[in-house]
Amino acid sequence: MSTREFTCVVCPNGCSIVVDVDDDETPVVTRVQGNVCKRGESWARQEVENPMRTIASSVPVRWGDFPLASIRTSRPIPLSKIREVMEEIRKVSVEAPVEIGDVVLPSPAGCDTEVIATRKVRKVR
């Protein structure tokens, strides 16, 4: 058993949440305190058992009017997968033109997400 403290980021209230965790093997939440609403509880549970994050980076663009296109995951991915996903993103480069929403990488590291472009890059000439 251990306790962990979080500042809830679901809404601007920013509740200080204290979570009791049974962490014999994979962490399991046994009690959540300090949250004002239900959403805080499920967020805290998720945060301990399988925290999810959206990550952003950028990839090089050939023949573009800008050298980079910014990208992000279309859905959050497990925090523990970020390094693996970043390694795959690092290998990617694309060719202009790039439109917002273009998929530059489908299901990186087996995650249920797509890496999508978040900026338009025009082709030069």
Query: Which residues make up the interface to another protein (CB under 8 A)?
Result: 6-7, 9, 12-15, 36, 51, 53-58, 60, 66-68, 70-72, 79, 82, 86, 100, 118-120
Q: Which long-range contacts (CB under 8 A, 24 or more apart) does 35-39 make?
A: 35/8, 37/10, 37/11, 39/10, 39/11
CA nearest to 76, candidates 56, 57, 54, 55:
54
Residue with smaller CB distance to another protein, 19 or 71? 71
Least CB distance from residue 28 to another protein, whole Å? 20
Residue with smaller CB distance to another protein, 21 or 66? 66
Residue with smaller CB distance to another protein, 20 or 58? 58
Residue with smaller CB distance to another protein, 12 or 110? 12
Least CB distance from residue 71 to another protein, whole Å? 8
Buried b (16+ CB within 10 A) or exposed e, 71-81: bbbeeebbeeb
CA nearest to 77, candidates 117, 119, 109:
109
Q: Residue with structure tokens 């509740």?
A: 15
Least CB distance from residue 87 to another protein, whole Å? 10
